[in-house]
Structure 1
């Protein structure tokens, strides 16, 4: 009798195993065990998003296909509680959408709409207008989530006025309370940018023409401008068939469009070809020659790895996900049109964060993850940069322990503070580590024991006193 058991196409997929394996349970836990002491100044919630398939993938699975799951830890009076919940998107696989396509699959029609890939809201999470917004990399429907419970509220459409979608890495201006967002389409030579008021009303939406379709990842925001990225990477059906998902067009320059936040013509600046995943921060500086719009970001460099045959058909995916980047600054003079590129450091780092209360204004410090020397995307430490001098200080996790993108919470003096990050180890245990930024090399001031493993994931945010 022939064995008719289907062959599992994901047997060699590294992003469904070990540190990345999904968790099935939605857990709530109070009064977590703490080693050390949680600073009383920490009053709020640390939230992190990431992919977590709610049902076993049936076809070729890309890490970005996993259903969104939020993990949260709340701090108050030196105590901590934990909760994790699935983001209830319209494409949640456990909600009957198991046949929805992933990145490696062809488009299908579902209920009158063309679906190119499952919209998982698994990439980013930001805090705006008293709600968390879970966002998807390839520009999807933002999902509003209760910051007290992590229960999904609804798809957020800003009072029915949102014309299209919202991409991950849209920004919140803590001074004005505004959400500044961008949107793009894989097959159209266009990009869009918009603004939502502090109370959730769409106040601006603008289309920006491009030479062709693009696959940007992030944007910059200053007090008066947004910075959109026209980068030489595109989405390609041919690349998908070769398990690459995206391709690089080397003969095109990198271009940044500096667009007035309240609307107006973009001013374009050209730089040598590169790709950028994540922006550190952006701001404006007055110089004798006029206003410079400044953007600090992590510029990609070759990762140095060879495709690993142990990953089989997922070797190309693993290679693309092995992010390696260096911190740079781009200066764009709004009067002269001059652009300059400056390197901050030649060390590798990524997933940068700053004090969210100062986003869009000049910041002295930024905090990045340090990559483990491994083709799989895992973080063995954190680095603190002085963006003015390029000096850095490092904090390494214990061997076999890997962190997440942290958040920075400032002390009352506004300059130093604490980094908060989820960690997971090879034994299947997870903690939250709290690190004093004035002494990066020291042991964490507190380690909070978690009731279950937190799979490695993507981006996080801090919400004060929620």
Structure 2
């Protein structure tokens, strides 16, 4: 049985495709036991898959962008060959205010902001982008940066904001922060349109802020992700920015400066001097992993793997900036798997393509290898966009970084995947001994499912398909919470 807190949506007049079909909002908060399974759920798969995503609670008063919807967490828990489902809205301050008013109060990404207001101030923190687990709680985060909302992992009820330390109050914390499972630390960065333009911090396993410092930038930037190793954190400064004049007028207008380098800041994990490294100009959303290597001379190098946008060229081989901006601005999908190397002793850099054949994004790894040299990444295979602002997540890719090989699984037309985190098998000791788990929209049967795929043999497709009793709107990022972590939180 479901509970819908929000008004009837049958009279919403929203022509945008991002509000229809599997993109359409589903505001019913519910819980289901003993979900139907096609195939057999492995009994050694125990834990919880959680995914965040947008579902607008009220009709937008202007143009709608997929990124505008209110955050909703969807959790599927696996125990002994059975699966249950629960979903809840992230109870942000903005959602509470709009519920009280009975209508949308904030402009969306496509709208002009109020006169004199920066978009950071005028837009609602919808907390719809990423979710991670730390200190016995789920953290829900927003891609534009803002307050992190803490959520009970069992009920999905919102507990409050991560503002127990005064330094966190009003801070625009990025959606893509990192948890080190070996230490229990939460590494984060924050950015915005006012100086100082970036901060870096660490929250310990006990929830206390242990590190907090400014990171110098020449102006407001658009970083998205970060990376961590056992001793360092890597932050990003790309040559993609908002046009300053447009920003001052309350609008977004992207610029890419091909004469500016991509810069990566390497910071000691617990604070200290920032060491900058420069690379060819690119833009990247998501990092797969980073690690430390000691070369033959005894020098430490930082290696980072990610999925930047492919750099389009014109007939003369020059960068086609207009095409790049169009791809980024319309959620186009054209990515490469790429590597950067940074020598901490000499300042030397190296970079290059790992794979420019398969178009993949949303890289996930076995999180026990976070910050360590990993062999495998599990990415979403990106399809050809049918319409603007509707990227199709068409399948799965497994990369073997030890030999540069990859295998891909695509079930054919009519299926739309989600980011699929790695879930270790009970008692696993090998990096790829487990499963990848993720929502799939089955357009042929007009329903949402969760597919469980053997991580060692993804080309065989799912070993089990869990049938959802209600539609799960397309969404963004996810995490896997191990059963041991849930058990520890239950007795805390």
TM-score normalised to structure 2 length = 0.86
1:40 has 2:43 as partner: yes
CA distance in 2, matches of 1:302, 1:82: 41
| Correspondence for 2:172 among 158, 162, 165 | 165
**Aligned residue number for residue 182 of structure 2:** 175
Once the 2 structures are TM-superposed, how far is the Cα of residue 317 of structure 1 from its aligned partner? 8.8
Say if 1:215 and 1:234, in contact at 8 Å, map to a contact too. Answer: yes
Of residues 191, 198, 208 in structure 1, which corresponds to 2:198?
191
Question: Distance between the aligned counterparts of 1:228 and 1:9, measured in 2?
Answer: 42
Structure 1 residues 119-130: aligned runs within 5 Å: 119-130=125-136
Pair 1:237–1:270, CA change in 2 (3 A)? closer
The answer on whether the counterparts of 2:112 and 2:250 sit within 8 Å (CA) in structure 1 is: no
Q: Is the 8 A contact 2:266 2:275 kept in 1?
A: yes
> Cα–Cα, structure 1 residues 95 and 404, in superposed 2: closer, same or farther, change >3 Å?
farther
SS of residue matched to 1:280: strand
Shift in CA distance, 239/408, structure 1 to aligned 2, threshold 3 Å: farther
The answer as to whether partners of 1:299 and 1:325 remain within 8 angstroms in 2 is yes
Is 1:454 equivalent to 2:472 in the alignment? Answer: yes
Report if the CA contact (8 A) 1:243-1:316 is conserved. no
Question: What's the CA shift for 1:302?
Answer: 5.3
Is 2:300 aligned against 1:291?
A: yes
Q: What is the deviation of 1:428? A: 3.0
Assess, with a 3 A threshold, how the Cα gap between structure 1 residues 282 and 349 changes in structure 2: closer, same or farther.
Answer: same
Q: CA deviation at 1:358?
A: 1.8
Distance across 2 between alignment mates of 1:169 and 1:136: 9
Gaps of 5+ in 2: 1-10, 314-324, 487-492
Tell me, which stretches of 5 or more residues in structure 1 are unaligned? Answer: 1-6, 305-314
Which residues in structure 2 correspond to 1:55-204 (within 5 Å)?
55-92=58-95, 93-96=98-101, 98-107=104-113, 115-163=121-169, 164-188=171-195, 190-204=197-211
Does the CA contact (< 8 Å) of 1:123 and 1:134 recur in 2? yes
Q: TM-score, normalised by structure 1?
A: 0.90
- Counterpart of 2:375? 364
1:420-448 deviations in Å (ceiling 9; x for gaps) = 01011335300000000111111311100
**Superposition deviation, residue 319 in structure 1:** 5.0
| Alignment RMSD | 2.4
Secondary structure of the residue that 2:54 maps to in structure 1?
A: coil
1:295/1:331 contact within 8 Å kept: yes
CA 387–94 in structure 1, closer or farther in 2 if over 3 Å, else same: farther
* The 10-residue stretch of structure 1 (193-202 or 402-411) with the greater mean CA deviation from structure 2: 402-411
Question: Within the alignment, does 1:257 sit opposite 2:268 as a pair?
Answer: no
Residue 439 (str. 1) matches residue 439 (str. 2):
no
**Distance between the aligned counterparts of 1:331 and 1:438, measured in 2?**
28
Are 1:415 and 2:460 an aligned pair?
Answer: no
| 1:19/1:134 CA distance change after superposition, 3 Å | same
> Are 2:17 and 1:14 aligned?
yes
**Deviation of 1:414 (Å):** 2.7
1:344 aligns with 2:354: yes
Q: Aligned-pair distance for 1:324?
A: 1.8
Post-superposition shift, 1:251? Answer: 2.0
Correspondence list, 1:214-253, <5 A: 214-236=221-243, 245-253=253-261
SS in 1 for 2:18: helix
- The answer to whether 1:321 aligns with 2:338 is no
Is 1:205 aligned to residue 212 of structure 2? yes
Gap change, CA 1:390 and 1:158, over 3 Å in 2: farther
Structure 2: distance between partners of 1:195 and 1:400 = 42
SS in 2 for 1:122: coil
